[in-house]
Amino acid sequence: MKKVAVIYKNSDNQEVIKYLKNNLEKIFENYIIVENHYLDELPSNFKIHADAYIITDETMLYPLKERITNYNNIVTMYRSIKKQKLYEISNIPSNTNVLIINDTYETSVQTLCSLYELGMGHINLVPFDPSDADNPQYKDFKICITPNEVHLVPEYIQKTINIGYREISFETLMRLMIRLELDFELTNRNLVRHIKSIAEPNIYIYNNYLNNFVKNYVFDSVINDSPTALIITNEKYHILFSNNKAKEMFNLKSKSAVIPLSNIMESDKFAEIQEETMPKDGIIFNGIQYFIEKKPIMLIDEIMGYHIILQNEKDIRDIEINAKKMLEKKGLVAKYNFSDIIHVSRKMKECINTAKTVALTDHTVLITGESGTGKELMAQSIHNYSDRKNMSFVAINCAAIPESLLESELFGYESGSFTGAKRNGKLGLFEQANGGSIFLDEIGDISPNLQSRLLRVLQERQIMRIGSNRMISIDTRILAATNKDLLSEVEKGNFRRDLFYRLNVISICIEPLRNRREDILPLISSFLGAKYNHLNDSNKNLLYTYSWPGNIRELENTAIHYNTLSTLPKYLLNTPITPLTINNTDKPADSVCIEMEILKIIMENSQCFHGIGRLQINNYLKSLQIKIGDANLRNILQNLQERDLITIGKGRNGTKITKLGIQKIKYF
């Protein structure tokens, strides 16, 4: 604990003396002890021993010369006033005569000077002398300002502004801290709280201090508490700074002096760190493998030190998880992966293969397909398969937001650029997605004005906020989607041709569900879970043959309906079975599809008199990549016969399709 001696001229104003002592102790907590002394009461030859001395007036320096042990550690106490009171004073009309009343003429002058220093030059301040209180020249004053000396205010004063006891100024406190070599970290918070409430004439130092406080705070929370070990050394590899993780790893004391890096690690490891390139496989400390990154700290072309980062695999994983969590909190993540896209159809497989290849590049992708086919699912999967997976994924539906708003959402704006704009401006989605991907859904619906702004972004990879004339470079991967036929929109003049070609670098077209029916039952099975087994064949037939204009979204709703009410929606049950127009060659995934394939094979390969044999049917199935085994096939054929869809002849007669079977295919 450090000792601070506060020396006053006399002990007259005990209230103020007590107030200031309290103030100091509140700010510096247990790090200092305050002792008050009064110049006019010091016994002769008495010397004051302390780590720092505070005097209230520079004229005290001379009489104190022989009294104090360390003449260099003297700080003059300057005082300031509460900000709130200053606002009140600044509201006094210009050129008003105002009396400044303090306990002595000198302190009145001091208060007056503080007020002028704080910029209150618009009023005429006159110091009051309590020992000459009856002086007729004071009688014309109507307003006075006093630091808590209300009892001295003469009766003729109509308005008194009591500014309370004056506070110890920020500059005084800073000087004291330096003299006492106090750790700034320990007292920073109290000091910031104190100075935020007082007015400060030296606004430059004051702001600088507050800015540094913020910087240090960030430094502390980001660097000191980082899960990565960080060490900063001078050019001789003597440690100047180590964060908490590094301290823990190398057992460094929190306030250790500058120690050589070679003291805390084995010589062969230190030798490796001194090399220009770090070992690829890292270095083992305490049985754990660490990857090391070393960067020189340069001053022009001279190395001043090194910045060394040590990370083990778990740290790296933790960092990734933390970053992901942060993005999740902000809703800036892509949830889905390719493995979430349920499919068996060849069409979808081809789509996913293309998407996986393009995901590894930075090309713009245009995903087309009817509504509800899974375009956003595809976009999210592309993002999560790409190198940008740990960065943000920002999705916006361009059709759902009015044009004026969409522009500011996408590009952001500078402060005060339009009425209603937020005071601090706003970060646009392109900037938010920097390093990651932006998904522009329903791109076919954007206005001509936005089309041309977007074209510029695609061409220059730069954006300009609304109300700004500064270009900001962005590294955002663009994924766009539309359910419109963009080319025909181009022909109609609704969509810019140049933008179409910029977007359509790689296009992925997701077929509607009715064009890849093999996916229907696997999808419904995944949505229904165990309840899928409750569906009877005619239900499955219905699902399989329905045209699904709402695609997978509609199928999802149907699954919810069935799960809740154990029946398919009425509109579906009442839908007449429509004949299919698609020539479907994909591998069926479910018994219904397999049955249909078998029926088709029988129909196409049985002549009027000769049917087809089981072996032949199986060979055809194998050529379609359907492997079901002979026993299975026999059961299916048996079942089809029981339903009068086929006849199984004996011997060479083979299996033939019935009229009913042909009808079934026709309407399937």
Chain residues in the site for ligand ATP (CB under 6 A): 341-343, 369, 371-377, 441, 481, 483, 523, 552-553, 556
CB 114 within 8 A of CB 67: no
Picking from 6, 49, 50, the residue whose alpha carbon sits closest to that of residue 24 is 6
Tell me the closest approach of the beta carbon of residue 432 to ligand ATP, in angstroms.
Answer: 20
Give, for 232, the enclosing helix (H) or strand (E).
strand 229-234
Chain-centroid distance, C-alpha 126: 55
Tell me the closest approach of the beta carbon of residue 343 to ligand ATP, in angstroms.
Answer: 5
> Closer CB to ligand ATP, residue 171 or residue 519?
519
18 vs 154: CA distance, rounded Å: 26
For residue 335, what are its two tokens? 């949830």
Tell me the closest approach of the beta carbon of residue 397 to ligand ATP, in angstroms.
Answer: 7
Listed in sequence order, the residues at least 6 apart from 326 whose beta carbon sits closer than 8 Å to its beta carbon are none
> Closer CB to ligand ATP, residue 36 or residue 337?
337
Q: Is 168 helix (H, G, I), strand (E, B) or coil?
A: strand
Tell me the closest approach of the beta carbon of residue 505 to ligand ATP, in angstroms.
Answer: 19
> Closer CB to ligand ATP, residue 368 or residue 658?
368
> Closer CB to ligand ATP, residue 315 or residue 441?
441
Tell me the closest approach of the beta carbon of residue 445 to ligand ATP, in angstroms.
Answer: 11
CB 215 within 8 A of CB 202: no
> Closer CB to ligand ATP, residue 166 or residue 587?
587
Chain-centroid distance, C-alpha 238: 36
451 vs 500: CA distance, rounded Å: 10
470 vs 465: CA distance, rounded Å: 8
312 vs 38: CA distance, rounded Å: 61
Tell me the closest approach of the beta carbon of residue 569 to ligand ATP, in angstroms.
Answer: 17
> Closer CB to ligand ATP, residue 114 or residue 558?
558
> Closer CB to ligand ATP, residue 167 or residue 376?
376
Which residue in the shown chain puts its C-beta closest to ligand ATP? 374
CB 304 within 8 A of CB 234: yes
> Closer CB to ligand ATP, residue 168 or residue 508?
508
> Closer CB to ligand ATP, residue 293 or residue 340?
340
Chain-centroid distance, C-alpha 437: 14
Tell me the closest approach of the beta carbon of residue 359 to ligand ATP, in angstroms.
Answer: 16
> Closer CB to ligand ATP, residue 369 or residue 428?
369
479 vs 168: CA distance, rounded Å: 59
**Which whole-number Å values give the CA distances from 375 to 282, 395, 440, 480, in the listed order?**
42, 12, 11, 9
Tell me the closest approach of the beta carbon of residue 363 to ligand ATP, in angstroms.
Answer: 20
- What residues pair up with 36 in beta bridges, in sequence order? 6
Tell me the closest approach of the beta carbon of residue 402 to ligand ATP, in angstroms.
Answer: 18
For residue 197, what are its two tokens? 């409430």
**At which residue do the structure tokens 């990549």 appear?**
625
CB 344 within 8 A of CB 299: no
CB atoms within 10 A of CB 520: 25
Tell me the closest approach of the beta carbon of residue 652 to ligand ATP, in angstroms.
Answer: 45
